[in-house]
Amino acid sequence: MKKNVVLSYKGEQAVHKIATLINLGRKLAEIKGCPFLDAPAEFGTIAGCYYVPLETIILDTHEKPLKAFDHHDLFGGAVPHEFMATKIITHPLVAEAAQAPENWRYDFSARLKETVLDGFSVFTAKDLIQAAEILLTKGRIRIKAAQADGGHGQTVIADRQALHGFVDLLEPASLTGGYVVEENMEHATTYSVGQVLVDHIQISYFGTQRLTTDNREEPAYGGTRLWAVQGGWSDLIGWLKDPAAARIVLSGKLYDDLAHDELGLVASRKNYDVLVGADGVGKRKIGVLEQSWRLGGATSAELLAVEAFRRDPSLAAVQVSSFEEFGRTEPAAKADLICFAGEDPQEGPMIKYSRLEARYHV
């Protein structure tokens, strides 16, 4: 399965994102034992390549139909339509007559209902207000822009006055891409569950996320600690031997199964954020927040896990961690993979790295 590894991205991108993409692409080429091509290319345009796209591949944006491909042709994922790659696919519309993108999948969110938090996806100010007022009867709510990542683009609303103040400040164009309106969870922990496939090595993992503050003193994603095994979901659950962790993993698995069945997902990297916390009346809940079928904050740790299993197939599991830290540019000691260390023109000084922390044998 040796192929040239080539990066794929469009338009102007943040400096730290491109540096991360390059370093992860080089690591993938090293794992696969094949050349790394320096020049980026549009997905599917060069035969015999393994693509590492910055974003999920959106098939209906290509002028010419792509030749048949599968998860061995890219690191990440591909879906038919743009909205499927965002947060808004997780929740239903607030009403049958509510506005939605063309090709909206009504059955998908309906089948997800038991494994996600209460919430709605909205595309107009009117629908946003209606959705928020329904959910505010149960407690505080969280509003998230469809394309936001890294913990940014989120607002917690406690009452109708704050809601209308939020809506008044929205740019009308921003609503076109959609917003998620969902119940806000208290005393919450965000877990990550996912799978990665590189050549013949498949890993499945369970992990916990950490929050930090960025250079603007705003909440931001700070990294993930993962426990990974070689194999599928059942292998992971069997190794964890923890009923609570198993329920979290199974929530991600259900989302993953439905994405393949209902959306036609093709992916070699799949990550699901699962929140565990208390709702507005103190009831404990588990809910999948969103999916990621592209490079993510945990990918550097994922690749260290894949590399560890390639080098030593006798391993039962590994513990790996990714880190994102702001305000400093010196790489941390014992960093096994450095994605970025420097001054980003938009984010300021920051470092992104990962390390292999433990190996477990049978």
- Residue 278, pLDDT score: 94
Read off the pLDDT band of 329 (50, 70, 90).
confident
Say whether pLDDT at 349 is over 80: yes
- Residue 150, pLDDT score: 60
- Residue 37, pLDDT score: 95
Read off the pLDDT band of 171 (50, 70, 90).
confident
Number of domains in the chain: 3
- Residue 242, pLDDT score: 94
Judge if 284 and 316 occupy the same domain: yes
Judge if 141 and 226 occupy the same domain: no
Q: What size, in residues, is the chain?
A: 362
User: What percentage of the chain exceeds 70 in pLDDT?
Assistant: 97
Last residue of a domain, one of 65, 83, 101: 83
Q: For 331-339, what is the mean pLDDT?
A: 86
Q: For 317-344, what is the mean pLDDT?
A: 91
pLDDT in tens, 37-83: 989 999 988 888 999 999 999 998 876 666 778 899 999 999 999 99
Judge if 16 and 160 occupy the same domain: no
Sequence-separated (6 or more) residues with CB below 8 Å from residue 57: 43, 74, 76, 77, 78, 79
Q: In whole angstroms, give the CA distance from residue 180 to residue 87.
A: 7
Read off the pLDDT band of 160 (50, 70, 90).
very high
Judge if 220 and 289 occupy the same domain: yes
Say whether pLDDT at 153 is over 90: no
Judge if 229 and 341 occupy the same domain: yes
Judge if 240 and 346 occupy the same domain: yes
Q: Print the domain residue range for 192.
A: 187-361
Mean pLDDT taken over the chain? 93
Judge if 333 and 281 occupy the same domain: yes
| 243: CATH | 3.30.470
Last residue of a domain, one of 150, 184, 218: 184
Which strands form 179-183's sheet, in the order they lie side by side?
119-122, 179-183, 141-145, 154-157
pLDDT in tens, 224-256: 999 999 999 999 999 999 999 999 999 999 999
Burial of 113 (0-12, 13-18, 19+ CB in 10 A): exposed
User: What percentage of the chain exceeds 90 in pLDDT?
Assistant: 82
Judge if 161 and 219 occupy the same domain: no
Last residue of a domain, one of 147, 164, 184: 184
- Residue 74, pLDDT score: 95
Judge if 348 and 199 occupy the same domain: yes
Judge if 312 and 193 occupy the same domain: yes
Q: Coil, helix or strand for 171?
A: coil
| 96: CATH | 3.30.1490.20
Judge if 260 and 351 occupy the same domain: yes
- Residue 159, pLDDT score: 94
Q: For 101-130, what is the mean pLDDT?
A: 94
Read off the pLDDT band of 357 (50, 70, 90).
very high
Judge if 156 and 216 occupy the same domain: no
* Cβ atoms of 273 and 192 closer than 8 Å: yes
* Cβ atoms of 76 and 293 closer than 8 Å: yes
Q: In the chain, what is the straight-line distance between the N-terminal and C-terminal CA atoms, in Å?
A: 29
Q: For residue 251, how many other CB atoms are within 10 A of its CB?
A: 23
Read off the pLDDT band of 176 (50, 70, 90).
confident
- Residue 68, pLDDT score: 74
Q: For 316-335, what is the mean pLDDT?
A: 90
Is the overall model pTM greater than 0.85, yes or no? yes
